[in-house]
């Protein structure tokens, strides 16, 4: 399977950076963020580091969360 790179080499827009922050805050997996943005996982990690956005904790799934009642 080829990597999603439709935006490779293109500059990041402020809206994309905001979306990246929101997705990271919601603990979206890095690969999923990459697919949504059309960029490689490495590009997502690099931009997150550049913008001081934490992609951790990577070991917690954003899926199957229990809702507190």
Say what the pLDDT of residue 14 is: 93
Cis peptide before 57 (omega within 30 of 0): yes
Range 6-24 average pLDDT = 90
Q: What is the mean pLDDT of residues 20-32?
A: 90
More confident residue, 62 or 10: 10
Give the contacts of 42 (CB within 8 A, at least 6 positions apart).
none
Residue 9 reports pLDDT greater than 60 = yes
The overall pTM is greater than 0.85: no
Q: Of all helices (H) and strands (E), which one includes residue 14?
A: helix 14-25
Give 28-67 pLDDT, tens digit per residue.
888 999 999 999 999 999 999 999 998 886 555 666 666 6
**So where are the chain's domains?**
21-58
């Amino acid at each position: 399977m080829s990597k999603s790179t439709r935006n490779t080499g293109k500059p990041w827009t402020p809206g994309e950076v905001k979306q990246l922050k929101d997705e990271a805050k919601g603990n979206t997996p890095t690969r999923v963020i990459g697919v949504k943005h059309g960029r490689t996982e490495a590009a997502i990690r690099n931009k997150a580091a550049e913008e001081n956005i934490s992609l951790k904790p990577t070991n917690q799934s954003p899926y199957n969360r229990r809702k507190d009642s």
